[in-house]
Each structure stands twice: as structure tokens, then as C-alpha cells.
Chains A and B, each alone.
Chain A
Amino acid sequence: MTIRGLVGACLAAFGLASGAVGGALAAGKEVRIYNWSDYIDPQILKDFEAETGIKVVYDVFDSNEILETKLLTGKTGYDLVVPTATFLSRQIKAGVFQKLDKSKLPNLVNAWPEIYERVAKYDPDNAYSINYMWGTTGIGYNVDKVKKAFPDAPLDSWSLVYDPANLQKLSKCGVMLLDSPEDLLPSVLTYLGLPPDWSDVKNVQKAADHLAKLKPYITKFHSSEYINALANGNVCVAVGYSGDILQAKSRAAEADKGVKVEYSLPKEGAQLWFDQMAMPADAPHPEEAHAFINYMLKPEVAAKASNFVQYANGNLKSQEFLDAEVKDNPSIYPTPEVFARLYTVPTIEDPKIQRALTRAWTKAKSGK
């Protein structure tokens, strides 16, 4: 084939392709989304493209810090990002986001008022964000291994992991804690009977000192490895995010090697967190971003998302479309009594407190 022939063939192919695509996708319409990894049912994106003709460009991150750095640098090119509410609040103050146009979100009628009320602490009037998923931070454990190592273990209490005498008994079968001071220290504060917030640097210091005492019994600090470690039976206890531990539970069940994982929300109270969809101020496609948020607010779609990732969503109407094992699982949708015990943790705004927290955390982990 001559060069000219080749070019001609390519042009023809391109013409065909663009013709075909043009039918399904309106020319140039796209929405760029930046969300957590493994946090959506891919079918939802395909359905959205088919229904609206808007192409979805979907990228993922694995830490709030990475997202925040990109947002603070500016010009991310994304139309929609999903920070956790504690980070969102600070980012709103930094002027990173634009207000949502609620007139373009008619499906907001399906929202769950109780969740939006709690989120309003971070995003006043819910002006900048819409809830994507919410969850808790609690204890995941290997039922049989814990029973063997520690027959009368207090499974419903933080003392299981934060009482040195108890942790010592579990240390042989493996203990992992989240490698995130802002997600882990509130639970240590709760165990110590201190308020789970950052108002007093001395309390933060006390929690970190307590953690340093536990250090010899902790296998590792990590924010995602515990999923596999729990599922394989490599560790018997982990403090982690609800959905991740439930993921470990289902992986262990699938592998069918006799590993049984359970999730516990301690009676002293546990942290409640929210992942929020928000639109950067310089989003190139605000129209399409609104369309996507509105699509995610459809009860059937929100239910599909929750069924896939095993986290609860902030969409009240979606509950009738949820799978029974999600809807009726108190680890995902806690009972009202448990829900009342869940607390939210405020955002850190004072850089001095942030520095003290990071420093105390480094010291607890490294001894230096």
C-alpha cells in the first residue's frame, strides 16, 4: 500500500469511527472525574455515557493528600473530584471549589437530610458538595484467630486494640493500624476518654504517647494493605475503614480457606466520615459535571454504586433499591442507636496544630 493509500484508509477509518461515536456521544461533550480507586461500579459510567452522550474521563487517586496537592496547585483539568469532608472544608476556604447550581440538580430531592445535616458542619448549607458515600472507621477481625489467641476478647470495644495487655495477646497473630493520623488518632482519643477533636494539642500528644506504647505489638501502619492481610489471615485485627474491611470479608469468603472476617463498631463511639463530590472552580465542563452529579443522585444509580462498593450513600430514596445484604447489614447502615454514637471529627485549620499532629505521629511510629 502506498503512503497515500494508507493515509486514505486511515482517514476513512477515522471518519467511520467518529461517525459511529458521534451517534452515541455528542461532539466534544465530556466530563473529567477524579475519584478514589476501586470506588465505583464501572457499569455506572457506561450507562451514563449511553444515556447522556457525555464521554467520561475517569482517573483515580489513593489519598486525600495527593488530591489536595493537585487542587491547591490549581488547573487540575477535572470537573468533579471526591475529597473526604474533613479535607473538603479546608479546600472550600482555600477557594478551590465553585458553588453547585442546585437548579441543575433536580434529583437532590432524594437526598437523606440526616447525612446532609452532618455534612453541613464541613460544607455550610451544602453549597459546594453532594455526598457520594459515607462510612465509619472501626475494627476488622479474624473471628477464629482472635478466639484462639484471646478467648474472652472485648470485641465491641476499642480496648481490644488500645489496651496494651489485650494487644499483646493479639500481637502474635498480627495487628495493622491505618497509617493516617487524622483517621486513627480520634479512635485512640475515644479510648482514652478524651474528646475526639484537635482543640487541645496536649490531648493529641497523649494519644500519640499512648500509641508509642503499643508500637511493639503493631505489625504495620498502612492504609490499604490490611484488606488483603485480613482476607488471607495474615493479620487477625486491623483498624480500618468499614467498606475496606467488608471487602476483606467478602474476599475471604470467596477464597473459602476458612478465614472469617467481621467488622465491629466499638461501643465507645467511632468516627463517621463522608466522601463528597465537588467541582473545582476552574472545571472546564461545569454543565456536564452537574449532569453527572444529577445522574448519581438517581435512587437506582446510587443504590447500584453502594451495592458494588459496600459503603452507605447519602441518598434516602436509594434504599429501596439496595441489595438486602447491604441494606440490612448494620456494618454498612448502622442501626439508629449505633448511628447516634458515631461522631464526626473537625477539620484541622491551624498549621501549628497540624504540625504538632504530624510530629507526634512520626514520633509514635518511628520513636524519633
Chain B
Amino acid sequence: MTDVLTPDPEAPRAVAAAGPQAAAEPLGAGGWKRWLLIGIPYLWLLALFLAPFAIVLKISLSQTTIAQPPYEPVLDLAAGWQGLVDFVSGLHLENYSILFEDEIYVASYLSSLKIAAISTLLALLIAYPMAYGMARAPRSIRPTLLMAVILPFWTSLLIRVYAWIGILNPDGLLNAFLMWTGAISEPLYIMNTETAVYIGIVYSYLPFMVLPLYSSLEKLDETLLEAAADLGSPPWRAFWQITVPLSLPGVVAGCFLVFIPAVGEFVIPDLLGGSETLMIGKTLYNEFFLNRDWPVSSAIAVLLLLVLVVPIAIYNNVQAKELGGKA
């Protein structure tokens, strides 16, 4: 199971080593096959990311209008070169300036980043002991524990979030339980607040944090800890100086897997949050469905992508250094 999750650390090196050698070979019968193999992931990227992104980018430069589709200009291929000229001259950047004229958009981005960052931190604090416990558990029960982490994915996210409504409602399970134990006499109003959003996001994304942490903790060489103990290091120090640094790739991977989707989250704040909870997903929804302004909502999406590309680029950079350091 762990082998599936963590690619053999040797594998990237093997690929890297094979690269120059293979390139040195004369382009024979195998040449086009290799290009085909390289081409498939690029084709995938082109068809499922770059092409849709180009369409969104194009709409973000258009103007809203009452038509089907509700924006102009629309590229008219039949009009030939003139059509293309008309199309390009009809594009403009006004939609992006709207995003900076009204503070709601910047406030939504910032609020989303804040909620995502706090959720990521909470998820890390909960997931690390979980993953540590799993990695230190007897080998025979590890697959069962791993299964238990993955199991919630078998139920639709929507249903799991709806279940939280039933738990957090003023007359829900949590309040009923707490009032029964006598811990509180008035129901707690958690539902429709930002706290509920945090609970929902941390709950939903916890497995994305646990799995990479587990895979990096699980392959940790225990003899290092034994050596540290032999040399007189107390356990907490061994943990802090050996375990934590060695699990860092898992921490980084887990944090990005939680942070990035949490920034753009819509369903959880919509169902659990109140009207005060400002998130960019909700603002984008209002722009698209209430204002019917596809161009401005596309501009929001493009900007959101830029906001997310920065952490992704950092992540890639860290990972490249990681591999480079090992090699």
C-alpha cells in the first residue's frame, strides 16, 4: 500500500539517469515511441488544463451582454482574418480593474487565504500525531488503519458535509449530547459561523494531510532513533532533530494538498458558513449566477489561479531541491 503512495526514492534518479543516455542513442525505430510517451502527459495538460484556461482567460477579457452566451465578442471563425481582428480589438482589461475598485474581491481573496491557512495548520496539528501513531503501529494492523483513513471517501463529500449540519445545528447531535451531560445549559451556536467552516474544511481534507505524512514517517529508519538514544539524546530531542526533519517532505506535500483546494472551497462555506463568511468561491458564485457576469467571474478565476500558482511553484521548487539534494 505504501509503495503505491510513495514512489520509490530511487525511481526519479533512475529516470534522470536514463534520460541523457537514452537521448544519446541514435533516433531509431524507438524514437517516435518515446516522443509519443512524452507527448501523452503534455497532451493531457493541453486538453484538460491549458485549453480550458485559455477559454476562461478569453472570457475574462470580454464584456457582458444579454445574449447566448452572455458575453461578447465571440470568436467568429467564418469571418476569417477580419473576424479575428474584430475579436482581438474587442478584448479589454476592464474586468480586472473592477476587481481592484471594490474592496469585496480583495477582502474575499484574503479571507479565503486566511481560512485556508488556519485550516491547514489545524489539519497538520491533528494529522501529525495520527500519522505518527499509524507509522509506529504494528505492521500487521497498518493496512487496517490506512483503510480507516481512506474510508470516508467512499461517501460523497456533499453527504458528509450535510451530516455536519445535523451535528452542529442548535438542536443537533452535539448540542443534545452536551446538554445531556450538563456541560452546557444553552445550545452552542456553531452552525452558520466561521467555526463551522473550519470544522468542515479540516474534517474533509484531513486524509490529504494524513496520507503523505504517514508515507514519509513510515519509511523513517528507526535505527537512527536507536542511535540517538544510544548517544544519550532524550526522546523529545530525537523526535525534534530526526523525525521532524525527515518527515518534512510529507508535511510540505500534505500542507499543499489541503491549502490549495481549501482556498477555492465553495460547498463547505456555503452549507456550513453564515452570511458573514466571505470566501472567494462564494464571491465568484454571486458574480456568475446573480450578476450573470461571466467575464468578471472569469477574471476572478484567473486571479485565483495566479494566487494559487505561487504556492504550487514554491512546492515544486522545494521538491526539486529535495530530489537534487538526495542525488
Chain A 353-367, CB within 8 Å of chain B: the 1/0 string?
011001101100111
Q: Is the CB of B275 within 8 A of A365?
A: yes
**Which residues in A have their C-beta under 8 angstroms from that of B275?**
221, 365-366
**In the complex, residue of chain A having the shortest beta-carbon distance to the beta carbon of B293:** A351
Which chain B residues numbered 286 to 314 have a C-beta less than 8 Å away from chain A?
A: 286-293
Which of B67, B70, B286 is within 8 Å of A358, CB to CB? B286
Once the chains are docked, how many angstroms separate the CA of A329 from the CA of B287? 40
Q: Is the CB of B66 within 8 A of A65?
A: no
Once the chains are docked, how many angstroms separate the CA of A358 from the CA of B68? 22
CB distance from B12 to the nearest CB of A (A): 43
Chain B 260-301, CB within 8 Å of chain A: the 1/0 string?
000000000000000111100000001111111100000000
Task: Let me know if A96 is at the binding interface, CB within 8 A.
Answer: yes
Task: Let me know if B125 is at the binding interface, CB within 8 A.
Answer: no
Task: Let me know if B3 is at the binding interface, CB within 8 A.
Answer: no
How many chain B residues have a CB neighbour from A under 8 Å? 24
CB distance from A172 to the nearest CB of B (A): 13
Once the chains are docked, how many angstroms separate the CA of A72 from the CA of B286? 16
**Which residues in B have their C-beta under 8 angstroms from that of A68?**
289, 292
Q: Is the CB of A351 within 8 A of B291?
A: yes
Chain A 43-68, CB within 8 Å of chain B: the 1/0 string?
00000000000000000000101101
**In the complex, residue of chain A having the shortest beta-carbon distance to the beta carbon of B294:** A72
Once the chains are docked, how many angstroms separate the CA of A73 from the CA of B70? 8
**Which residues in A have their C-beta under 8 angstroms from that of B278?**
366, 368
Chain B 61-80, CB within 8 Å of chain A: the 1/0 string?
00010111110000000000
Q: Is the CB of B68 within 8 A of A96?
A: yes
Q: Is the CB of A358 within 8 A of B290?
A: yes
Task: Let me know if A161 is at the binding interface, CB within 8 A.
Answer: no
Task: Let me know if A90 is at the binding interface, CB within 8 A.
Answer: yes
**Which residues in B have their C-beta under 8 angstroms from that of A362?**
104, 286
How many chain A residues have a CB neighbour from B under 8 Å? 30
**Which residues in A have their C-beta under 8 angstroms from that of B68?**
71-74, 94-96
**In the complex, residue of chain A having the shortest beta-carbon distance to the beta carbon of B275:** A365
CB distance from A165 to the nearest CB of B (A): 23
Q: Is the CB of A368 within 8 A of B66?
A: no
**In the complex, residue of chain A having the shortest beta-carbon distance to the beta carbon of B70:** A72
Which of B67, B107, B192, B289 is within 8 Å of A368, CB to CB? B107
**Which residues in A have their C-beta under 8 angstroms from that of B10?**
none
Q: Is the CB of A94 within 8 A of B290?
A: no
Once the chains are docked, how many angstroms separate the CA of A112 from the CA of B155? 49
Q: Is the CB of A66 within 8 A of B289?
A: yes
Task: Let me know if A93 is at the binding interface, CB within 8 A.
Answer: yes
Task: Let me know if B186 is at the binding interface, CB within 8 A.
Answer: no
**Which residues in A have their C-beta under 8 angstroms from that of B286?**
358, 362
Q: How many residue pairs at the A-B interface have CB separations less than 8 Å?
A: 63
Task: Let me know if A200 is at the binding interface, CB within 8 A.
Answer: no
Once the chains are docked, how many angstroms separate the CA of A367 from the CA of B292? 23
**Which residues in B have their C-beta under 8 angstroms from that of A71?**
68
Task: Let me know if A349 is at the binding interface, CB within 8 A.
Answer: yes
Once the chains are docked, how many angstroms separate the CA of A63 from the CA of B292? 14
**Which residues in B have their C-beta under 8 angstroms from that of A72?**
68-70, 292
Once the chains are docked, how many angstroms separate the CA of A220 from the CA of B189? 13
**Which residues in B have their C-beta under 8 angstroms from that of A37?**
none
**In the complex, residue of chain B having the shortest beta-carbon distance to the beta carbon of A351:** B64
Q: When A359-B104, A362-B104 are in contact, do A90 and B66 touch as well, CB less than 8 Å?
A: yes
Once the chains are docked, how many angstroms separate the CA of A197 from the CA of B25? 75
Q: Is the CB of A94 within 8 A of B70?
A: yes
CB distance from B91 to the nearest CB of A (A): 18
Task: Let me know if A103 is at the binding interface, CB within 8 A.
Answer: no
**Which residues in B have their C-beta under 8 angstroms from that of A358?**
286-287, 290-291
CB distance from A11 to the nearest CB of B (A): 35
Task: Let me know if A69 is at the binding interface, CB within 8 A.
Answer: yes
**Which residues in A have their C-beta under 8 angstroms from that of B102?**
359
Q: When A72-B69, A95-B68, A351-B64 are in contact, do A65 and B107 touch as well, CB less than 8 Å?
A: no
**Which residues in B have their C-beta under 8 angstroms from that of A361?**
290
Chain A 244-262, CB within 8 Å of chain B: the 1/0 string?
0000000000000000000
Q: Can you list 6 pairs linking A and B with CB atoms under 8 Å apart?
A: A221-B275, A349-B66, A351-B291, A358-B287, A365-B275, A366-B275
A69-B289, A95-B67, A234-B171 given; name 9 further pairs at CB < 8 Å: A72-B70, A74-B68, A95-B68, A351-B64, A351-B292, A354-B291, A355-B291, A358-B287, A368-B104
